[in-house]
Structure 1
C-alpha cells in the first residue's frame, strides 16, 4: 500500500496541545506526534477536507468529530489484525472489519492503537461483515478525537484511494515548489552576506510577522528592523519585548532545544532552535498578533533557521579562531614565553587592541571541582556541561568588563583569567582588600545565574611592568590552588592571604622565602639606618619576651612607652597588627627567614668557614 507521501518539516509544540487552523482559531492537534500536544506543519489534507472529495463526500462521521482537523498523509487498507505494527502516522485506514469481526475487544483496541500511532481517521464499511460498531468503540473515538467514518457499501477502495492520494500529492507538489522558492530566497540573502538582520527582515516580509534572532542566553542578536534605518513602527517589538518573549519560553528547559508555539500578548509566538550537530546556538522567534499561521509561515521559519544557523556557525568559527590567537598570546605572556617588552606591547595592540603598557592586576576565576560536576551530569544532555562552562566564561567576562572597563578576559578550559587595569581611577585595585571586594562582587553576580556550581577566585599581587605579570599569574594560580586546599572551595583568595602557607606548600625555595620576608618586613628595611636598627631590635626582643612589652623594654634598657611607640610605628609601616596572632606568626617567621638569609650570605662570602 502507499506509504507516507507527505514529509512534514517541523514538529511543533503548541499551547494545550492545539495548533492554529487555516481559519486562525486554535483547534485540536491535526496530527499527533507525541502524547502531549505535538503537531506537524506541512502539505497534508485534513479529514474535514477529505470528506469533500469523491465518494468520501457520501461518508458519515459516526464518532470522533472533534478530530476532523487531523491531517491525512497517506491511505492504507487493513488486511491483518496486527495492523498497528505497520502504521507510520497520518493514515486514513480503510477496513470492512472482517479480520476482527468477532472480537469486540479488538475493535475497541483498534481505536486506541490508531490514536497512539498518530493515524488520522478510520473508514469502515458496515452491513457486510458487521452491522454496527460496539458503543464502547464509538465512545472511545469521541474521547480521543479520532474520526470514524462510515463508507458507502457500494464503493471500491480504489475509488477512495485514488482521489485522496492525488489530492495529497498535488498539495505536496505545490508545497515543495513553494518551499524550494523560499529556500532559494534565503540562500540568496545568505550569499549577499548581509548577516542576521537581513535574514530577519526577509522572514518578516514573507510571513507578515515580527522576527528576532536570540542567542542561547536570550540576548537579541538581530531583529527585522535595521538599526541604521528608519524608526520602527509604534507596534514593533523592541529588544526588551523580545527578552520578555524569551522569558515566556524558558519555563521548560526542553523548550530551548525544540520548536515551540506559545500564546503571548494576544497573538502566537513561535520559537525554532538554531541547532547544528549537538550544539544549540540560539533561536529564531516569530510573533504574529493574529493566530492565523499557515504552512508558509512554518516553512519560511525553518528555512530562515537553517540559514541563520549557518551564519552563526560561520561567525562562531571566525570568533573562535580570533579568540584562540588572542588566548595563545596572553598565556605565552603570562607563562613567561615572551621575553621582549616591545614585542609583548606590539602584539597586544595588534591582537586585541590592548594597552599593556598600563599596569594590570591578574586574577583567575575557576569552576570548583568541575571534573566531578561533569561526572555527576553524565545522565543529562550531551552538551549540558559545555553550556554551563560557556555560560560561566561569558558571565565572568561580562561582569568583569562592566565593573572595570578595559578589563581583559581570556578563557582556558573551565577557568577565566581576568586582567584588571590598575591605573587611572582604578588605582585602589592595587590594594588586596579592594581587588578582593571587586572579585567577590563579580563572583556573586555569576553565581546568582549559575546556582548549580560554585566558583573560586585567586588573585596575584600588583606589579607595574608587563614583564612582571608572569609572577602575578603564578601567584594567582597559587592563591587559587593552595587557597582551595586550605580553606575549601567557593572563596576569593589573594596571594597575600596565604601567609606562611606559601612557604609550606610552595616549591619556590629561597626565592619564595626572600619574597615573603620582604613582603612582611620590607617597609622596615627601607627606613633610615638608625631607626631601622631600633625597630628591628625592638621587634626581636618583643617576640623573644613572648610579646610582653615590659620585659622587652627592660631587655632593651628603654622606657616601656618607647617600646609601645615603636610597636605602633611598626604596625603603621607594615599595615600589620602585632596584637593579631596570624600577623604575629607571619612577622616571627619573616624575622627567622631574615636571620637565615643573613647567615647564608655570610657563609657564601670568600674565606668564610664551611
Structure 2
C-alpha cells in the first residue's frame, strides 16, 4: 500500500503547509525517512517523504547542496520544520531550491512532532492486509514506530510473526540485536558469507541449521551495514514471509541511519580534535579541553589507530566496525583521506588491542573488493601530552606496513624497533639488485657444484659467528666449516670476521 501526498496535506492533525510542488500531490509515498545529514542520498531508495530539522543548514549554499542530493535520491517530498520554535520558518533559499529542482516541499508546524508524521505514513503504507492476524501485526508494527523501539524489539516482532529466530549482525559478526543463540565463531561465519555472497539475499547452512541472510538496506555498504539472519527453511520469496521481513528491514534501516547520523556528528567533532593534535603549534591545554569534551581524561593512557586505503573503501565505517567490538571506548573520525581512532586503552592492554584490530580487519577482508588497507597503531602514556606523538607514530608505522604483502596490513609502534619492518620498505627492484649482487654468486656455485653455501651462511650467522656451534648444528668438522666460509668470502667479497661483512650478508638473506 501507499499514501498520496494529497492525503498527508489534507490530514487535519498534521497541518502541513505546502510551499512548492503543488502539481505533484498525487505522488505516492513509499516510506518516511528523518535526516539532518547534508547529503543523505545514499540512504534513500526513492519514494520517501524526507523529514528534516535543517540542522545541516548554515548558509544558502547548504540548501542548494541538500536539495540537489534529495532530488537525486528520487524522494516523493521534503518536509521541513523547526521543532518548538514558532519564530523560525523554512528559509527562502530552501524554498527556491526546491522550486528549481521541482521538489515538493511541506512545512511542518513547530508543535507537530516528526514522530507523528512518521507514524501516519507508516500506518498508511502498511494498511490493507486482510485478516485478524494481519491487523495485529500492523498494530504492533505501528507501535514500534510510535514508541521509538530499538532493534531488539524489531527482531522479537519478526520472530513472533515468522516463528523463526532472527538476529541482526554487523559485518564482523557482532550481535546488534535479536536471538543470542550462536557462538562467536558461528556469527563470524555468517558475517563472512554476508560480505562475500553474490547476490543477497542468500541461504547458508551452518552445521545442521539453515539461515537466510538479508541486507538490512541494499544501499548500505556491506562492511558498514547490518545483516539480518533468519533461522530455518523459510521461503523468502513467499509474500507472507517476504512482506514482514521487508517491513522489519525497513525499520532496522531507519534505526541504522539514526545511529549513523549520530556517529557522523561525533566524527565531525573528532576531526577537529585530530587536526588540532596533528598541528605542531597546538597548545596542550586546548588538546586537553577537546579530549575532555570527547570523554577522555587528559592524563589517561590511549592508543591511536590510523587507517588508509586506495579506492572507494569506506574507511571511517571500517574503523568504526573494527573498534566497536573492543572492550575500551573509542572515538573514530575521518580526516584528510585517513580514518583515525583514539582508544582509551592502557599500555598493559596495547598488545590485546593490536590483536583485536588485526582480527577485525581480517574479518572485513571479504568485503573490501580487492582494495588494500594499511593500519598503524601506536600508544601514548598520557592522552593530552602524548596524542600528537602517538598520531605521528601511528601514521609512520602505517606507511611502513604498507610495504608488506597481503591485502590487509596492520603494524604497531613496537615494530619500529625491528629491522624487518624497515626492510619491508625496500623497493622490489633495489631488493633484487642487492640480493643478486651478494647472493647470486653463492646460488650459482651451489647449483653448479651441488653444495650448500647459502644454508651454511644462514647457519653461521644464526650462530652469531661461533665456529663450534655452527659446525655442531651442520654436523661438520670445524675445518670443513672454515673451508666453506672461506669460499663464501671469496665469492661475495665480504669478510665474515667483521661486523660490517656479516650485516651485509644478513640483510641480503632477509631481503631475498
- The answer to whether the superposition gives a TM-score over 0.5 is no
Please, what TM-score do these two structures have when normalized by structure 2?
A: 0.44
TM-score (norm 1): 0.38
